[in-house]
Amino acid sequence: MLEILFPLAGTRADDVAADHALRVAKLLNANVHLVRVLESRRTSDRPTDPVDWQIKKGEAENSLTRVAEKLSRAGVESEQVLLEGDPTEHLVNYARQKNADLVLLTGGPRHGALGISGGELLWRSFLTTLLVRPYQELSESPQATYPRILVALDGSKRAECVLPWVQMLAAAGEGKGVEVVLAHVVVEPELPRLTPPSEEDTELARRLVERNREEAAAYLEGARARLGVRAETRMLQGRKASTVLLDMVEAEDMDLVVLSAHGYGGESPWPFGDVATSFIERGRTPLLLVQDMLKGQFDPAGVTSESWGG
């Protein structure tokens, strides 16, 4: 059974994220861990007001109970945990202890922004993450599936780490109108910038694009066969893969975008490659970022069991 870590912030964004937690938990038959971390004072030596602290603690407990009851009414049970200290350290180590398969985070109040603890967890944990957008409207009857799923593939083996997740989501939504689209962007080569391109340059670029389109068509068919569920394929073309994909998501009203953390050109010391980073910062659609690095290949920056006390 999969384990989902759902950190709460005590804001309206929790309600939006709870709809997604409910949806994913039912689709994947997963356990949900609701965790709220009361942040310790960092910037002042002044002692914490015990009355104020108890008020904040009570509010945190209420937020955990409220979301847990919402999930329970829909048939999803959860574990509620209240911790005190550094949010990132606690959440990363809790994820380690529970072998979390997925972390559910929300963006911040501004377009593309993340809250402090959420941002640190996203960029430092190297965990598969479902990033939802807090400005989405709440629904009285949340959707049971993600009807239109875009899966971006760049032709690399590491990008195909997303396929098992797509298989699970598509299989769970079978018969419920779920559409999967496998997309690949053929990137147009750069031509000399200081002088106008010659006819030879233009012809070389055209031939390269044509060759890449032939390879991409064969690759997409192979990826569809490896996916093993019904899916469309879409070949796109442009100067920058992230821009082409973002435009497609908006134009075709996708409900979920699935990306690997790194693609063909991504460097594993960094949490995300260029395309994933563009979607984190500019996307307005729920985003499933699948971590392609195996556990043990990385150590979350600045987070240790000793500092957490476990």
Predicted pLDDT of residue 266? 62
Q: How far is CA 139 from the centre of its chain?
A: 21
Predicted pLDDT of residue 13? 85
Cα–Cα distance, 243 to 275 (Å, whole number): 9
Predicted pLDDT of residue 193? 73
Report residues of the chain scoring pLDDT below 70.
41-47, 108-118, 135-142, 266-268, 294-310
Predicted pLDDT of residue 86? 87
Cα–Cα distance, 222 to 30 (Å, whole number): 30
Token reading at 225: 């066969």
Cα–Cα distance, 79 to 100 (Å, whole number): 13
The CATH-assigned architecture of domain 1-144+286-310 is: 3-Layer(aba) Sandwich (3.40)
Predicted pLDDT of residue 12? 83
Predicted pLDDT of residue 191? 81
Q: Residues 202-209: contacts with CB within 8 Å, 24+ apart?
A: 209/237
Sequence length of the chain is 310
Predicted pLDDT of residue 140? 60
Class of domain 147-285: alpha beta
Predicted pLDDT of residue 252? 94
Find tokens 């200081």 and name the residue.
Answer: 194
The CATH 3.40.50.620 portion of the chain extends over 1-144+286-310, 147-285
